[in-house]
Amino acid sequence: MRSPSRYPRHRTPGGTSLSIRFRLLTLVAAVVFAAACSSDDADSATDTSAEGDTPAENVTEEATVSSRDSGMTVTVQQTEAATLHTLTAPEEVFANSTHIIETENSLVLIDTQFLLPNALDMRAYADDLDKPIDRVFITHAHPDHFLGSEAFADLDVYALADVADEISANGEAEIAEKQADFGDAIASTFVTPEAVEPGTIEVDGVAFELAEVLDAEAHVQLVISVPDAGAVVTGDIVYSGVHLIMAGQPEPWTAALNDLKATSDQYPFVLPGHGVPGTPEVYDTNIEWLATAQEQIDTATDGAEFKAGMIAAFPDLGMEAAIDFVTPLLFPDDDTDADAAPAAAGEVAFGETVVNITAVGDGMAELVGSDPVVADAFGVIGLIPPSDGNSMTITATG
């Protein structure tokens, strides 16, 4: 039986940025990048207005769905107090969603996309709404949510203090690492947000309630509720229509989902961090997914069995690559990878890379390797279940 890893609260400041280099996924994503970058007019983004091109089974009946030349899906939902615009990247590039809350006279943007072409397209879409952008919020410090901030460098950008600190500490390393994987599709600069405190602010007469959530999918996340619009922007606490990237502990993550579920009557519009907008039913799907993942971790003998079990339990969810991100971390002894280097004593093989594991006391460990790759593509340092069945937190150096 395997004990689930305890995921870290944040990247090691100043430490080496790590990633699992899923080469096949990168090749697929490169096709998307090329399409996004090869437009005859790189500064423009054309809405194809192809209603219904992308399935969005969980959104409200009043939603309109269209696609962009960049490959992003746009979902628009009208409420009494605001219009909710959600731009969702293709599943091949993590289906991360960014949001625009349009009030009568202004716009509030939430998160900035991962790829620069998508961030520029989001900016073009916002500019086409022909209203001033009051501010941009970044929900958390995973690079798929802040690396697009270069496209919004002329605006006021805000995040919780801990999120701003993490972005400041790790932004340059994230750029270097992600450019190595994705080239010019990653911006060369980023914006360090100004710190904002939890509480209520008012924009154009509409209240925005800012809440801090700890130790769910990320160390700290900003959740933004708009009571007059009945909408809640959840960050990566919620995935909608896609498999979860298991970057957090199931127990606190589930607690955060139950807290959001308790507000379902007040907030029927759920704007997730990944996937298309949903309704409150999405909370139960996420809670069930985490519980099932826990069961599979305890019973599966290898990564292939774990993935098969998750797909069988949730056949309607997309982005199966999200499962691939975590299987090397949950099953480090898995020998199903024919390209894996042989593991010697004190080492764990990840694809072609062998990483040394050295305990440094009190559940901590140090990873040392010539090319260490122990994390998901978003830079979240992953954890390896030790052979004694106890949880082990690991940081990175070298």
- The whole-angstrom separation of Cα 240 and Cα 97 is 10
Q: For position 247, what pLDDT does the model report?
A: 87
Q: What is the CATH number of the domain that holds 269?
A: 3.60.15.10
Identify whether 256 is part of a domain. yes
Identify whether 5 is part of a domain. no
Q: For position 93, what pLDDT does the model report?
A: 87
Q: For position 330, what pLDDT does the model report?
A: 86
Specify the pTM: 0.75
Q: For residue 178, which of 139, 142, 143, 212 has the smallest C-alpha distance?
A: 143
pLDDT single digits (tens) 100-141? 999 999 999 999 999 999 999 999 999 999 999 999 999 999
- Share the mean pLDDT of the chain: 77
Identify whether 209 is part of a domain. yes
Range with the lowest mean pLDDT among 35-39, 128-132, 310-314?
Answer: 35-39
Asked whether the predicted pLDDT for residue 149 surpasses 60, the reply is yes
Listing from the earlier edge strand, what are the strands of the sheet with 107-110? Answer: 64-67, 73-78, 83-88, 97-102, 107-110, 133-137, 157-160, 194-196
Identify whether 350 is part of a domain. no
- pLDDT tier, 33 (very low <50, low <70, confident <90, very high otherwise): very low
Contact of 15 with 366, CB cutoff 8 Å: no
Asked whether the predicted pLDDT for residue 369 surpasses 70, the reply is no
Residue 373 or residue 260, greater confidence: 260
Mean pLDDT for the stretch of residues 239-259: 95
- The whole-angstrom separation of Cα 249 and Cα 251 is 6
Residue 15 or residue 157, greater confidence: 157
Q: For position 325, what pLDDT does the model report?
A: 86
Tokens of 302: 């290898």
Q: How many other CB atoms sit within 10 Å of the CB of residue 387?
A: 10
Q: For position 32, what pLDDT does the model report?
A: 41
- The whole-angstrom separation of Cα 222 and Cα 319 is 24
Contact of 168 with 192, CB cutoff 8 Å: yes
- The whole-angstrom separation of Cα 233 and Cα 390 is 35
Asked whether the predicted pLDDT for residue 66 surpasses 80, the reply is yes
Q: How many other CB atoms sit within 10 Å of the CB of residue 4?
A: 17
Identify whether 10 is part of a domain. no
Q: For position 365, what pLDDT does the model report?
A: 37
Identify whether 393 is part of a domain. no
Three-state secondary structure call for residue 162:
helix
What are the residue ranges of helices labelled H in the chain? 23-37, 116-128, 143-146, 161-182, 250-261, 281-299, 303-313, 321-330
Contacts (Cβ under 8 Å, ≥6 apart) of 280: 261, 264, 267, 268, 270
Asked whether the predicted pLDDT for residue 5 surpasses 70, the reply is no
Residue 49 φ/ψ region, left for φ over 0, alpha for ψ in the -120 to 50 degree band, beta for the rest: left
pLDDT single digits (tens) 316-361? 999 999 999 888 888 887 754 434 333 333 443 333 333 344 433 3
Query: How many structural domains does the chain have?
Result: 1
Residue 354 or residue 66, greater confidence: 66
Identify whether 84 is part of a domain. yes
Q: Which residue range(s) make up the domain with 59?
A: 25-291
Q: For residue 34, which of 90, 101, 85 has the smallest C-alpha distance?
A: 90
Identify whether 226 is part of a domain. yes
Contacts (Cβ under 8 Å, ≥6 apart) of 79: 228, 229, 230, 231, 269
Q: For position 98, what pLDDT does the model report?
A: 98
Mean pLDDT for the stretch of residues 159-172: 97
Range with the lowest mean pLDDT among 15-19, 100-104, 247-251, 313-317?
Answer: 15-19
